[in-house]
Structure 1
Amino acid sequence: MSRFDWPALMQAGIRGLHLSPAAFWALTPAELMLMLGAGSGAAPLNRARLDELLQAYPDDKGETDDE
């Protein structure tokens, strides 16, 4: 069984993901690793990807037909 680097994981979860301590400790190690982008799951959405999506799909600023 491998050991966990709890200080690094706490820093990533509480500082990096902005989880409360209670939310951090409620996660399983697998859930935390998934949130951090490790393993077979997709990485969390980052700011650069959000900006790409906002450019590709901008909010409609116009009026709707039913007004």
Structure 2
Amino acid sequence: MSTCSAFDWPGLMRLGLGRLGLRPDQFWALTPVELIVMAGLDDQPAPCLRARLEELAQAFPDTPSRRVKGDPE
């Protein structure tokens, strides 16, 4: 029997049951990927929230493009 494991199960259990406060049935119903995403440990960038969107809108305001015939005044 091998002692090598693809996942750090004790670490994942500490994360899920301890830090995230999941019940055992909730923990065992998750995949490791779901657990990692719930903990915010994935490598995806944070979503663009309203405050950041407003900062970007101020930094890069929309400018009217050339008027096209038929556009309202």
TM-score by length of 1: 0.55
Match of 1:17 among 17, 20, 29: 20
Q: Which runs of 4+ in 1 moved over 2 A?
A: none
Give 5+ residue unaligned stretches, structure 2.
Answer: 47-73
Residue aligned with 1:7, SS: helix
What is the CA RMSD across the aligned residues, in angstroms? 1.7
Q: Distance in 2 between matches of 1:5 and 1:24?
A: 14
Number of aligned residue pairs: 41
Report which of the two structures shows the higher radius of gyration computed on alpha carbons.
2
Q: Which has the higher helix share?
A: 1
Residue aligned with 2:15, SS: helix
- 1:5 and 2:8 are equivalent in the alignment: yes
